Structure 1
Amino acid sequence: MIDALLDRLSALDVRLAAGPGGVLRYDAPRAALTDELLAELRDHKRELLGRLTGAEVIDRAPVSDQQARMIAGHHAAPHSEVWNIPTRISFTGALDPDALRSALTELIARHHGLHSRFVRPEENTGGTGAEEDAGAGTWWQEVVVPPPLDLPVEDLTGLPASEREPRSEELCRETAAGGFDLTQPVLPRLRLLRVAEDRWALMFVLHHITADGWSLSLLLAEIAELYTAAAAGVPHALDPPGAQSTDYARWQIAHHDPETEARRAAYCAAYLDGVPSGVPVPTDRPRPERLSGRGDTVRGLASGEVRAAVEEFAAARHTTPFAVAATALGVFLAGLSGERDILLSVPYANRQGTAFESLVAMTSTAVMVRVRLDPAESRAALVARTGEGAMGAMAHVLPTARIMRAMREAGARDVPDRVPHILAFQNSLDTDIEIPGLRVEVEDLAPPLSRGELCFGLAPCRDRARGYRTFLEYSADLWNRGTAEDLLSSYTALLAEFCAFPDRPVSDLLPTAPTPPTTGKADAV
């Protein structure tokens, strides 16, 4: 049918092209554009785009709420590559590149979210004979047949030994910083480097629209399982995913309930009533009207002793390690700013039901957590109160924009557009993987950018004795790297001190005369 339609279009001198955003464009004589022909173009748009792009569509659905927000964030960001998830997997030992290629091919084929593109729905704006747009509107996701995997080995062993590591680092960071076009299949960006006879580096770069922290853990574990099976020449033992990204979006639409949303919005508005719109943390430079997106990430470790103290504190008070870490961060920011009511944005996995446990997609959303200090209160009491509030917020999860709208509707006068301080407590992110015969190291290789002002992160290591991996993503418009390193180490130190004496008052951790902000405005950006 499509072949016959293409033959007729050719005879009528109608030329088709795939335009940005998954639109179908045509250039044709005015007389050829009958209503019947335009209807045929609409009806067969997907098949025609598949022919034009060489990507056959195998499933299609509206985007999920999270995907829609990510598309908006991608296009709004000064540097869209800030949404990259760049992971370097280093192997030491006798790596089999063919087995790795086979494993990655199977990995991509297993998960629809790793071979999807994002397009407009099938609409037609009409035509006048010049080049016209045959589709525009809100976004949809289209799953396409993944193309053959191209993973050549880039061998650096021919370079002098002193040049190999610097060249590998340069190539890896170049790969990490490349942008994605969401209207084309958003495949993982892959690059395999041989750095020495027995040392290899695989760059595995995702766009955040395809995966969250939970998904990354799944993918890394599957790479290990698939590679091990391929290297041994045996079938893998992985079960098929319980759901795909399109299934999740359809489930979300089917379960949308305006009454539930309104109830959740009212709860969140009440929970956040009176929270300050900004926290005046001192900066190295005046805050600009708009952040440029420039930034960086500093990293560290919190010892096994600190982790043990956090977990013992939480267990003794029947709360969670997250509640302890969030409360301590609130106290830390209060000490810097003099503000006693701190609002944190916390990424939340938001996985509902066992069907979504094996889903590779972006399901995470932000939860607002309030740390409201009473200096005379004990640290344990503050943790209990903060943890209770966080649990309530998670039970009433909504997109941040919807919460802010609810606050305005409830009469709040000073509502931030976004929350400048984030705590990423990544207890669902496990990057420690094991492959027989190889030593494997996994490293985040984030480009020198920042999504906001300050994002503090804690990720528990699989080996409890190693404690937490810590990080701070910061805006270079506001802080120098040295300051960011001090902020991260100071927070880690306060977390340890906070847990050491749970029955002491919070006031012991606060300066008697808080230092006012040296520069900038207090408003959230």
Structure 2
Amino acid sequence: MAYQLELSAAQLSVWVAQQLNPLDRSLNIAGYGAIDGPIDGAQFHAALRTVLSEVDALRARFELTGEGLRQVITDSPDWSLTELDFSDSADPLAAAEQWMRADAAAEFDLAAGPLFRWALIKVEPARYLWYQAMHHVIVDGFGLSLITSRVADVYTDLAAGVPVREQPPISLAEVIDEYTRYAAGPDFAADREFWLARLPDPPRVATLASREPSGTSAFIRESTRIAAADVDRLRAVARRLRVPWYSVVIAGVAIYLHRVTGLRDIVLGLPVAARPSPVARRTPAMLTNVAPMCLTVDPVLGFDAVVAAAATELMAAYERQRYPYELLVRELPGLPPGRRQLGPEVNVIAFNGSLTFGGHPSTPYNLCAGPVEDMSINIYDRPDRSGLLIEFDGNAGLYRPEELRSHLDDFVALLRSAE
């Protein structure tokens, strides 16, 4: 039986953005897992059906009712698993990625649903890609990882012929109610005061772009890998300073921006899960937020001081991560409409190294993760300690590929010099 729920602040922001620009496809998120082993299509389809019945967000559509905008959770949307075979192509992976990128740019109907698409793609006799595309209004990156992990577990059990393992109940209604209580309570007010005091004046935004915005939502990507030996040096710096290792990377971003722009006060965007409770951490949904990170780069004090400040800022951001950034922007004094408020976003992502489908390991790949206003720097940390994958996603209206590549190479050189 269908039922209605209010929207989280993150969902409302995405829904409004889509209404303001109906042709914008940057609010689609997509990726795939490369599975090194044969996959049974019928069992995979059954695993997806099971997870679809468990995850409210996958069955959501959005409707303006007499009580306002609501998400309607249906019993079962009309969907099917697309199965494709590119194994006979000259370059199967390239052909599959071309198809996936085209599909990721296709429209989702927020009012009708479904707001997800799945495909199982054969690229070799014993290698498959599981492609997922969803509208950002129903799920964020954290939520997508929960869905992926659950499908892997269910498929593994079905392939082994054992009962599907149970998981704790997940409830989108409880998560939305949790946020509603937060928004009406003292923690919300305290978080608001903290951020307004932290950002009393409109920040001067640090950017690496050499051009003015053109209004596009498309992005370009340059990527590279840092070898394990270089990552070990970064971790050694973190151990010496007794801070999380990713504080070193974030400090490196701030220092690089200072060197290029000359600005001492750097405000970065930190994507945060905004999931303080156990139920929120196990419920696929769209809850993610962006927390401002304010760092002062003083060349006299040196690298260690910026790393220590980054660790302190990280702690503050995580403690106050639920206050919606969209609300903060509206209240910043003297901020011109439409002006960017943050520099690049820096997102450190740890992979689940134990993800397997019927005993076959899977490696995740991100195709698109939402709008890129200026630049998004994605740092992927693999648990096998094989090194870091670093992606620079730049707004196509602001950056040329050669500019983005140059910045990426120079940033990696800075990280390699850290000690």
Give TM-score, length-normalised by structure 2: 0.90
Counterpart-to-counterpart distance in 2, 1:196 and 1:382: 47
Counterpart residue number, 1:407? 332
Counterpart residue number, 2:128? 200
Counterpart residue number, 1:33? none
Given residue 190 of structure 1, which amino acid in structure 2 is its aligned partner? W
Distance 1:178 1:413, change over 3 A: closer
Counterpart-to-counterpart distance in 1, 2:148 and 2:56: 16
Distance 1:431 1:65, change over 3 A: farther
Specify the SS of the correspondent of 2:188: helix
Gaps of 5+ in 1: 1-55, 124-137, 501-525
| Offset, 1:179 | 2.1
Distance 1:450 1:331, change over 3 A: same
| Offset, 1:314 | 2.3
Instruction: Choose 1 or 2 for highest CA Rg.
Output: 1
* 1:215 and 2:159 correspond: no
Counterpart residue number, 1:178? 106
Deviations 1:412-450 (A, max 9, x none): 5679453242111224x5376223453533222239x85
Counterpart-to-counterpart distance in 2, 1:171 and 1:258: 47
1:296 is aligned, of 220, 229, 239, to 220
Distance 1:197 1:149, change over 3 A: same
Given residue 276 of structure 2, which amino acid in structure 1 is its aligned partner? Q
* 1:168 and 2:96 correspond: yes
Given residue 226 of structure 2, which amino acid in structure 1 is its aligned partner? A
Counterpart residue number, 2:193? 266
* 1:112 and 2:33 correspond: no
Counterpart residue number, 1:103? 47
Counterpart residue number, 1:309? 233
Counterpart-to-counterpart distance in 2, 1:437 and 1:265: 47
Given residue 176 of structure 2, which amino acid in structure 1 is its aligned partner? A
Counterpart residue number, 2:12? 68
| Offset, 1:103 | 0.9
Deviations 1:356-405 (A, max 9, x none): 22111122111000111121113222222232233224323322232234
| Offset, 1:169 | 3.1
Counterpart-to-counterpart distance in 2, 1:265 and 1:413: 17
Alignment identity in percent? Answer: 20
Counterpart-to-counterpart distance in 2, 1:275 and 1:430: 38
Counterpart contact for 1:343–1:371, Cα < 8 Å: yes
Distance 1:308 1:184, change over 3 A: farther
Counterpart residue number, 2:377? 456
Counterpart residue number, 2:31? 87
Counterpart contact for 1:432–1:462, Cα < 8 Å: no
Counterpart contact for 2:61–2:73, Cα < 8 Å: yes
Counterpart contact for 2:379–2:388, Cα < 8 Å: yes
Deviations 1:45-74 (A, max 9, x none): xxxxxxxxxxx51x3211111111121223
- Once the two structures are overlaid, the 10-residue window that deviates more, 78-87 or 113-122, is 78-87
Deviations 1:318-374 (A, max 9, x none): 322232222110110111111111110110112112222211112211100011112
1:340 is aligned, of 253, 260, 264, to 264
Counterpart-to-counterpart distance in 2, 1:370 and 1:430: 30
- Once the two structures are overlaid, the 10-residue window that deviates more, 162-171 or 113-122, is 162-171
Counterpart-to-counterpart distance in 1, 2:207 and 2:97: 37
Distance 1:313 1:94, change over 3 A: same
Counterpart contact for 2:78–2:114, Cα < 8 Å: no
| Offset, 1:79 | 4.8
1:482 is aligned, of 402, 408, 415, to 402
Equivalences for residues 23-42 of structure 1 within 5 A: none
Specify the SS of the correspondent of 2:142: helix
Given residue 154 of structure 1, which amino acid in structure 2 is its aligned partner? L
Counterpart residue number, 1:51? none
2:346 is aligned, of 423, 439, 445, to 423
Distance 1:247 1:236, change over 3 A: same
The list of structure 1 runs, each at least 4 consecutive aligned residues, that deviate by more than 6 angstroms after superposition, is none
Counterpart contact for 1:210–1:362, Cα < 8 Å: yes
Counterpart-to-counterpart distance in 2, 1:431 and 1:446: 21
Count of aligned residue pairs for this structure pair: 417
The CA RMSD measured in Å over matched residues stands at: 2.6
Specify the SS of the correspondent of 2:26: helix
2:304 is aligned, of 363, 376, 380, to 380
Equivalences for residues 503-514 of structure 1 within 5 A: none
* 1:443 and 2:368 correspond: no
Counterpart-to-counterpart distance in 2, 1:150 and 1:368: 40
Counterpart residue number, 1:491? 411
Counterpart-to-counterpart distance in 1, 2:143 and 2:396: 29
Counterpart-to-counterpart distance in 2, 1:89 and 1:313: 33
Specify the SS of the correspondent of 2:257: helix
Counterpart contact for 1:164–1:195, Cα < 8 Å: yes
Specify the SS of the correspondent of 1:360: coil
* 1:153 and 2:78 correspond: no
Specify the SS of the correspondent of 2:408: helix
Counterpart-to-counterpart distance in 1, 2:94 and 2:346: 33
Specify the SS of the correspondent of 1:446: strand
Given residue 349 of structure 2, which amino acid in structure 1 is its aligned partner? Q
Deviations 1:183-240 (A, max 9, x none): 1234420122333433333321122222222222222222221111111222111313
* 1:255 and 2:182 correspond: yes
Counterpart residue number, 2:392? 472
Given residue 495 of structure 1, which amino acid in structure 2 is its aligned partner? L
Counterpart-to-counterpart distance in 2, 1:78 and 1:143: 22
Given residue 81 of structure 1, which amino acid in structure 2 is its aligned partner? R
Given residue 332 of structure 2, which amino acid in structure 1 is its aligned partner? M
Counterpart-to-counterpart distance in 1, 2:366 and 2:51: 20
Counterpart-to-counterpart distance in 2, 1:215 and 1:431: 17
Counterpart contact for 2:206–2:263, Cα < 8 Å: yes
Given residue 324 of structure 2, which amino acid in structure 1 is its aligned partner? P
Counterpart contact for 1:297–1:446, Cα < 8 Å: no
| Offset, 1:268 | 1.5
Deviations 1:461-502 (A, max 9, x none): 1212x122211110111211122122122222212323x1xx
| Offset, 1:97 | 0.8
Equivalences for residues 4-19 of structure 1 within 5 A: none
Counterpart-to-counterpart distance in 1, 2:73 and 2:372: 28
Which structure is richer in relative contact order (CA contacts within 8 A, separation 6 or more)? 2
- Once the two structures are overlaid, the 10-residue window that deviates more, 386-395 or 374-383, is 386-395
Distance 1:437 1:220, change over 3 A: same
Counterpart contact for 1:291–1:477, Cα < 8 Å: yes
Specify the SS of the correspondent of 2:372: coil
Given residue 407 of structure 1, which amino acid in structure 2 is its aligned partner? L
Specify the SS of the correspondent of 1:312: helix
